[in-house]
Structure 1
């Protein structure tokens, strides 16, 4: 077996993006000042991430390989079975990374634990360093203590598929009315026109899904490790040819929600990453169910 590879995932800082856009630090500082902010604030967050990345790079065991990837390039990166993933950033970056993995353990590392606490980024840079130093062999890497968080997967009838750790959205690309036929796991069917559907895991049940559930009277949502999903239709519009009676429910393991497209096209994306999406045209069927590859988050 090949030696483990530590893959460090991070995203560009706001300071880096400001310098890309405004060319000089002085112009970036002026831009921030016009919006009531200071360059010192942005520099502080940049420094914390830079320091955290330096700590993790220095902690890679000598016999391990190492790779580094930015969020923008995740969809083009080839992960392997021997990888251990170190996500350095906030919770959203863990979710963005999860959809490209096939069971590799993920260490969520928070560069600013005292300022921006997270649920998925559970380790400080120092704690992650100790964890890596204690995990020096391939066998040890395979037996990292992990919590398995459920995922959700959408598939098109042409074989394309996409997964999410928080939720899958299906709807019109500009969030206008989406038209489709919905079929529930128990065989009930309805033509609908709505602002789209959300199918959420327990991890996503504290975000977008939670706001919808609250408006509907507080449906009981799954926990992150539950083998169950919750689905909601947003703003279904009743008309002579469309209904609004099938607007929420649960998906247990093995159950499938089916959406048959009745618009020119609908888009499918996960965890808010609209740039990485599937497109389904008129007549295509989209099936959504519990994902087969849970995220293995190192405890």
Structure 2
């Protein structure tokens, strides 16, 4: 007998909860905020809206389903199962945070604070949760109508792997210069030693954020992908020309099956995805990392 679906409710600690954890009491937290010209009532009100939304979403889960909850900080220790339906309640960024831990499970994004979020990934209101979960149930958790959002992955030569929904950054952990050799399959491999502020490789989902800022800054004519395109765009940040480093290969597009190779020529570089610097791959001299379209996609219920 197959297991009943499990609804996994993903959320994050509210600002109010963080303040209470740091300052101990409501009064101390209020005093701290007032010393900085802020009031606590708006913070608490947003907290209460968030808690009510979580309770309503949990109540919408079909009775025959199992349930679990996981906070953002605990995602790297939570084991998702193939029968899970992931319900992300919060902001767009929370969907990106959970995406790299999934392997095809359908995701429903619920906006718990409409008007404060862009709603690109948390597309639905709390009142929609019951109908969305029922629709997933009828399709055996297949999530009819789900968009397959392309993801980007980085794989090192010692088999470390990093997934991201928006973009992966490769470069120095601080303000130093990154030195490396960049190799692009275009279609024949072409290598160029470079010195720069790092390399950004992003998806169509990430093309509205950091990737787009580089695209605009360089006045690029590259067509940026849309979220469901199996393509990636990449840009080198502030490439520096010298007798030993070049600047001829500073942007491009990767289709499925193509990859960007970076061989480290610095003592230490890092690779992290979706702005999560705390979950970075450490790259050392001589190590090679390959970046390309991930073999898995995020299945976001439309």
TM-score range, shorter chain: over 0.9
Mapped partners of 1:155, 1:111: distance in 2: 35
Q: How many residues align?
A: 298
Mapped partners of 2:175, 2:90: distance in 1: 29
Aligned to 1:11: 12
After superposition, give the CA deviation of every residue in 1:94-152 in whole Å (9 maximum; x if it has no partner): 00100110000000000012343410000111101222245446x53224321100000
Alignment of 1:141-160 (within 5 A): 141-160=141-160
Contact 2:135–2:143 under 8 Å retained in 1: no
Contact 1:229–1:290 under 8 Å retained in 2: yes
Mapped partners of 1:197, 1:129: distance in 2: 42
Mapped partners of 2:131, 2:37: distance in 1: 40
C-alpha change, 1:82 and 1:203, in structure 2 (3 Å) is: same
Deviation at 1:21, TM superposition (A): 1.1
TM-score for both structures, normalised by structure 2: 0.95
Contact 2:150–2:228 under 8 Å retained in 1: yes
Deviation at 1:18, TM superposition (A): 0.8
2:251 pairs with 1:251:
no
Contact 2:143–2:301 under 8 Å retained in 1: no
In structure 2, the residue corresponding to 1:269 is in which secondary structure? strand
Aligned to 2:36: 35
Aligned to 1:166: 166
Mapped partners of 1:136, 1:285: distance in 2: 43
Aligned to 2:72: 71
Aligned to 1:261: 264
TM-score for both structures, normalised by structure 1: 0.96
In structure 1, the residue corresponding to 2:114 is in which secondary structure? coil
After superposition, give the CA deviation of every residue in 1:269-295 in whole Å (9 maximum; x if it has no partner): 100111111111111110000011010
Mapped partners of 2:122, 2:143: distance in 1: 20
In structure 1, the residue corresponding to 2:176 is in which secondary structure? coil
Deviation at 1:160, TM superposition (A): 0.9
Structure 1: runs of 5 or more not aligned: none
C-alpha change, 1:148 and 1:135, in structure 2 (3 Å) is: closer
Alignment of 1:197-216 (within 5 A): 197-216=199-218
After superposition, give the CA deviation of every residue in 1:60-103 in whole Å (9 maximum; x if it has no partner): 11111111101111111111100000000110000010011000
Contact 1:83–1:104 under 8 Å retained in 2: yes
- 2:245 is aligned, of 242, 247, 251, to 242
C-alpha change, 1:131 and 1:282, in structure 2 (3 Å) is: same
In structure 2, the residue corresponding to 1:142 is in which secondary structure? coil
In structure 2, the residue corresponding to 1:129 is in which secondary structure? helix
Structure 1 segments, 4+ long, off by >3 Å, are: 133-137
2:302 pairs with 1:294:
no
Contact 1:156–1:285 under 8 Å retained in 2: yes
C-alpha change, 1:61 and 1:188, in structure 2 (3 Å) is: same
Contact 1:105–1:144 under 8 Å retained in 2: no
Deviation at 1:34, TM superposition (A): 2.3
Contact 2:92–2:122 under 8 Å retained in 1: yes
Structure 2: runs of 5 or more not aligned: none
